[in-house]
Amino acid sequence: MKKILMSMMFVVLLPLYAMGQSEDGTPAATGTPAAGVKIAFLDAQKALDGAKEGVRLRQSLDEYVKTRQSVIDLEEKDIKRLKDELDKQAPVLSQEALKLKQGEFEDKVNNYRKKVSELQKEVQDKRLSALDEFNKKLEQSVKQISEKEGYGLVLNKNGDGGAVIYGKETFDITSKVIEQMDKLYAPAATK
């Protein structure tokens, strides 16, 4: 929904922006395009996939997920072992002992489910935090390129609801943004 609203906002505001100002910032005559306004777009997902900082981020998240998954895998093995023991011992246990073992097993399963849920939330929070950090760096790189090359408006061309439906490749600055990010954040990407 948010993406649809953002796309609609750009569709509505872009013509207003292009028609509403002259070069010196004063209102332009109605219906006349702003002279010299440069517009570009980038594919933020492509920048995430192509920039060294994005690769570093993905590798860091993958390592983080693997460590969390190993904790879950250990718990799962322990539960399977307990289930096998319970199944083997069930015929020889008294009713009271069987109920006690089943209760312990159910507690273990409930704790496992709770831990899985907590770890999934932890991984999701980490992913969102990392993407937020990347987006700040992306915005900084876009801002620097825009100021250097005189772009008045830069839009996002993601396939999943970006603001650009079509744009000539000459307006695509994704590769410039990737180069800028690699230049700015290369030391961070090698750590």
pLDDT, position 158? 78
170 — pLDDT class (breaks 50, 70, 90): confident
What one-letter code names the amino acid at 70?
A: S
Q: What is the pLDDT of residues 42-60, one digit of tens each?
A: 999 999 999 999 999 999 9
Do 54 and 137 meet the contact criterion of CB atoms below 8 Å apart? no
- What does pTM read for this prediction? 0.68
Residue 143 has pLDDT above 90, yes or no: yes
> What are the tokens at 188?
């961070």
Per-residue pLDDT at 13: 40
Confidence of residue 135 (pLDDT cuts 50, 70, 90): very high
Range 118-135 burial, b when 16+ CB lie within 10 A, else e: ebeeebeeeeeebeeebe
Q: Is 153 left (phi over 0), alpha (psi -120 to 50) or beta?
A: beta
Q: Which two tokens stand for residue 115?
A: 């831990």
Give the number of other CB atoms < 10 A from CB of residue 163: 21
Q: Are 34 and 19 in contact (CB under 8 A)?
A: yes
**Stretch among 36-40, 76-80, 116-120, 187-191 having the lowest mean pLDDT:** 187-191
**Whole-number pLDDT of residue 33:** 45
Res 112 pLDDT > 90? yes
pLDDT confidence of residue 25: 41
Instruction: Spell out the domain ranges in the chain.
Output: 37-190
Is the distance from CB of 37 to CB of 153 less than 8 angstroms?
A: yes
Residue 139 CA from chain centroid, whole number: 14
Side-chain half-sphere of 142: how many Cα atoms within 13 Å?
21
The CA distances from residue 85 to 7, 54, 77, 78, 81, in Å, are 58, 46, 12, 11, 6
Mean pLDDT for 144-157 is 92
